[in-house]
Amino acid sequence: MRTLIYVLFIGLMSVISSHLFAASGSIKLEPVKIDLFDKASLQRGATTFVNYCLSCHSASFMRYSRMAKDLGLTEQQVVENLMFASDKIGDTMTIAMRPDDAKKWFGVTPPDLSVISRARGTDWLNTYMRTFYLDADKIMGTNNLVFKDVGMPHVLWKQQGYLENDHGTLTAASKGTDADYNLMVADLINFLAYLGEPSKIQRLALGKWVLLYLFLLFLVVYPMKKAFWKDIH
């Protein structure tokens, strides 16, 4: 009986909390396709991440050397294209900005993004990156549809242009909005998904071989079992 009550309680709590956290509610999230085997996409995402995010956000669970291997790059390529001169290939992706300074400048410390894809979900991240809009009331001059009063500026404004919020619908405020922006963001989110669970690439690849192995094993073992049990039935 006690266990039953316990189980019911946990069930109820999880229903309530999932409603609470889905409170961005009325805003429809833009789905994004995640493909960890698309190395080109991951490489493009990594480039965007290093150039536009790593100045404020760290990804301290990831080492450059591991990223090189997973993304199909040589260490040389990573050193030349994806790293700041002061970092070494064995280092984790940390930043030079001190947390105290960050707090002074932005009011909040930009969180480490290592596992943000698991905390927020990739569709949320995709929508977040696409829905910064002009808001004159904010110090940054911008706001965000799924993260109200966010302390982060619209760092990809050059790529996306600025959007205006017309009662919840975002429209381009200026010409020059890049149509490729959504593709750029999709690659970036693909990379963030990889960051959140890097070993998934190996696991998925290995999984196919394991299933094949089990199938072949079955082909051998099943006739054997039949032969052994032939006289017993």
Q: What are the residues binding ligand HEC (CB under 6 A)?
A: 52-53, 55-57, 106, 108, 110-111, 113, 116, 120, 125, 128, 150-153, 155-156, 188
Q: d(Cα 186, Cα 103) in Å, to the nearest integer?
A: 29
Pick the closer one to ligand HEC by CB: 160 or 165: 160
For residue 109, what are the CA distances in angstroms to 46, 156, 160, 192, 217? Answer: 22, 19, 25, 19, 53
CA trace torsion 83, 86, 89, 95 (10° rounding): -70
Closest approach of Cβ 64 to ligand HEC, in Å?
17
Closest approach of Cβ 24 to ligand HEC, in Å?
11
Closest approach of Cβ 154 to ligand HEC, in Å?
9
Nearest CA among 159, 163, 175 for reference residue 133: 163
Pick the closer one to ligand HEC by CB: 125 or 163: 125
Query: What one-letter code names the amino acid at 15?
Result: V
Closest approach of Cβ 182 to ligand HEC, in Å?
14
Pick the closer one to ligand HEC by CB: 47 or 92: 47
Pick the closer one to ligand HEC by CB: 105 or 218: 105
Pick the closer one to ligand HEC by CB: 28 or 103: 103
Q: Give the max Cα distance, the chain.
A: 86
Closest approach of Cβ 128 to ligand HEC, in Å?
6
Q: Using CB positions, name the residue nearest to ligand HEC.
A: 53
Q: d(Cα 73, Cα 122) in Å, to the nearest integer?
A: 24
Q: d(Cα 23, Cα 21) in Å, to the nearest integer?
A: 5
